[in-house]
Amino acid sequence: MISDVHANLPALEAVLESIDAAAPEEIWCLGDVVGYGAQPDRCATLVRERCAISLNGNHDLAVIGAIEAATFSETARAAVDWTRAHSSAETRGYLSELAPEGAREGIGLFHASPRDPIWEYVLSTDQAEAGLDAQSERVCLIGHSHVSLFFTRPLSTGRRTFATGAQASDGDLLDLGEGEWLLNPGSVGQPRDGDPRAAWLELDTDEQTARYHRVAYDAVAAGAAILEAGLPIALAERLQIGR
């Protein structure tokens, strides 16, 4: 499971190599294939070729003109404008075929949240409670926040139960056999949880487990590509610190 690639080719290639070593049956992507990074076409091609299912995120939707970028930050709007001008018709056509939500193997998939698949950041237990209330599947996967984390809530037994959650670290293994879950794999291309390594999540639907992974990649090369493209310098700098 991957999310928030953001056109960062070195990060995506490193993650796919790590995923290949684990040999999963399928790869799923939760969206934001483009945005921020300098290699949208090559990343879109890899996602299209390697992922059994992919969603589109708010950056993907902005690039194809399906939503307005007026609420984006200045750097995010600059990246949308640049990507529109420097991505192929094939890439934009592929993104236009995707949706911000879906399901696979009985798992709910949302770019942002079950309550708002495009825009909502789920970073607190209150937001997680609302998402758990809104979801129809017991286990759902979300992206958008660029933070590797999870929330869980015991199934109701007639009395009110509450969600708990935490930020996930490399190697953390969760038993999903009981309760309701919201899982965020973190970001491939622009992590914001203090760990600059690319993130992905290994989901075992038979054993009902989830393991978090972080992968080192050449963030200097990714940043250099951003600068060479003329994108905002902040987009290159933040790759080095994971913020």
What's the CA gap between 236 and 4, in Å, rounded? 16
Count Cα atoms within 13 angstroms, Cβ side, for 229: 27
Residue environment code for 73-88, b if the CB has 16+ CB neighbours within 10 A, otherwise e: eeebbbbbebbbebbe
pLDDT score of 155: 83
In words, the CATH class of domain 9-240 is: alpha beta
- For tokens 């909502």, the residue is 120
Interval 99-147: pLDDT, tens:
999 999 999 999 999 999 999 999 999 999 999 999 999 999 999 999 9
What's the CA gap between 80 and 76, in Å, rounded? 6
State the chain's mean pLDDT as an integer: 96
Instruction: Determine contact, residues 232/79, Cβ cutoff 8 Å.
Output: yes
Please give the C-alpha separations between residue 147 and each of 105, 179, 190, 194, 200, in angstroms, as whole numbers. 24, 22, 9, 9, 11
pLDDT score of 160: 72
Question: pTM for the whole thing?
Answer: 0.95
What is residue 2's DSSP assignment? B
Interval 26-56: pLDDT, tens:
999 999 999 999 999 999 999 999 999 999 9
Confidence check: pLDDT of 158 > 70: no
Count of all residues that appear for the chain in the document: 243
What's the CA gap between 3 and 199, in Å, rounded? 8
The SS3 of residue 26 is: coil
pLDDT score of 70: 87
